[in-house]
Structure 1
């Protein structure tokens, strides 16, 4: 029994390592670009909104906290909101309207042109995240998605899509949080260590 359990641990670690190496070898430039877009959004005085369900809700809260508090370096707090945390808002919308609208209505209330919405869904088809993405597009927000299995409905709604095309949800989520940590660290790098790299994008409003 102990050997079987140990085998499960090793196989999970090996498969996860293989997936991370493959994903980031193929998508390193996209991660850098995503962080640069986040940095430009924040440098122009806008904010980041995050949403997701279940484990992805936990990731949304985790990443918002890294921006508001700090990630690794000492720096000023950065404006980020997880749309998953206010139970009164969520239950009011769910009770009066639909669970599918819990993020959409918050985007309509809190999102402004120039902000960015980050939607997290391992299937890419979570109705409440998809609706939030559509609302963000309508209000002029940039959209970033962290998905799996090809991106689902979210694929066509994201300005930047990080799709981890793998069949195991747990491993997709592990890569998602790694992407999130890299976005946090690189955003800090662009804002506080290499701000000159942002200058061309700060001058061009279309890249906000």
Structure 2
């Protein structure tokens, strides 16, 4: 186990074929490392400073747009966040979804051009959209539906009573990565927010 203090994790959220995932640049005195662990998927864009515990440092390779990429990755065992800063706006990096790295890359297909609608078709659609938008002004949003206990138990396992009771929840990032993302998406849907320092999801109200 390697402990690195006073490091910066520059986290970037990316939308992939399986939903949103996060990657990070780990900046330390010892060098620059790529981090693509599931643990990051619950974080938002930003620069996080603190201490990390690394279980492994290794070379990883992948193919992106026909080009081979080799990078030094660090696998995190744990991290402690001391500070958070907003990430400066920058071009979204081209990164493969880590959940897909063990799968066979699909062959590229030739895109087909969608037919261009005529002005006669566009006008009614635009008017319908405008009417719907105006009709919704001033209306209150319906309250969120009460979550189904069976659904919560299936998704969150032993944590489901805490979610149902709207108690703070700390997720286990060692579960299947796609399930972990589904848990994050559900907590956001239920108006939970992540406290980066404790890595605990807190109900917003």
Query: Normalising by the residue count of structure 1, what TM-score does the alignment of the two structures yield?
Result: 0.23
Larger proportion of helix: 1
Larger proportion of strand: 2
Query: Normalising by the residue count of structure 2, what TM-score does the alignment of the two structures yield?
Result: 0.23
* Structure ID, larger Rg: 2
Q: With CA pairs under 8 Å and 6+ residues apart, which has the higher RCO, 1 or 2?
A: 1
